[in-house]
A and B are shown apart, each in its own frame.
Chain A
Amino acid sequence: QVQLKESGPGLVQPSQTLSLTCTVSGFSLMDYSVHWVRQPPGKGLEWMGRMKYDGDTYYNSALKSRLSISRDTSKSQVFLKMNSLQTEDTAIYYCTRDVGYYFDYWGQGVMVTVSS
């Protein structure tokens, strides 16, 4: 069955770089696009960026200067890297599958806290 699972450090120091991995199963990254969405505690959802099935990427302009999304199709993994983290980047980070610019399957999310 379709599954997505995020992994990465729970705590990142201010000004450091966040690295997260989304490991998928039940579908191919060459058939479906995967997006990253984040949610600060108690707040709403923010779209961050997309890894398209053909390898193309697209980023939220608000984050573009700090954000990079890549993938390893052989490992069924999509990677997120974001630098210069600040406390306002504290959030649950989700990866999710795109089935027509909406999202049908989501990972469980990974909580990332930015703190010294």
Chain B
Amino acid sequence: IMLTQSPATLSVTPGESISLSCRASQSISTNLHWYQQKPNESPRVLIKYASQSISGIPSRFSGSGSGTDFTLNINRVEPEDFSVYYCQQSNSWPLTFGSGTKLEIK
């Protein structure tokens, strides 16, 4: 299953609210997870199963979607949020990741 993330790069000003997209090549129900990766760090899970929150993750991160279209929302971007975001599907083998969206400061 291919995951297509858009946009590849998003330039925003801190305080803006944004949405990142992840589209699957076939229906994956809600078997979609979101990760954040900062430079020189390992990925960190933000959202599981499309919309379920993860303990310790700020509430400004939320997810939605099912089937083939998914969205990661960040409500009022903070300076520490500028990084790369990946989606990952667990509906079928092999597990796959999207190519990532880089969130950069405008």
Q: Interface on A for B, CB 8 Å cutoff?
A: 35, 44-47, 58, 60-62, 94, 96, 100-104, 106-109
Contacts and interface: CB of A to CB of B under 8 A. Distances in A.
Interface of B: 31, 33, 35, 42-45, 48-49, 54, 86, 88, 90, 93-100
A46 B42 contact: no
A100 B31 CA distance: 10
A101 B95 contact: yes
Contacts of A58: 93
B43 A45 contact: yes
B39 to A, nearest CB: 11
B43 A107 contact: no
Contacts of A60: 94
A108 B42 contact: yes
Interface of B is mostly: loop
Contacts of A96: 42
B4 to A, nearest CB: 12
Contacts of B31: 101
Given A47-B96, A100-B49, 16 more contacts: A44-B86, A44-B97, A45-B43, A46-B97, A47-B94, A61-B94, A94-B42, A96-B42, A102-B88, A102-B90, A103-B35, A103-B45, A103-B88, A106-B42, A106-B43, A106-B44
A45 B93 CA distance: 15
Contacts of A102: 33, 45, 48-49, 88, 90
Given A58-B93, A101-B90, A101-B95, A44 B100 contact: yes
B72 to A, nearest CB: 14
A100 B42 contact: no
A100 B48 contact: yes
A45 B100 CA distance: 9
B86 A45 contact: yes
Contacts of A106: 42-44
A108 to B, nearest CB: 6
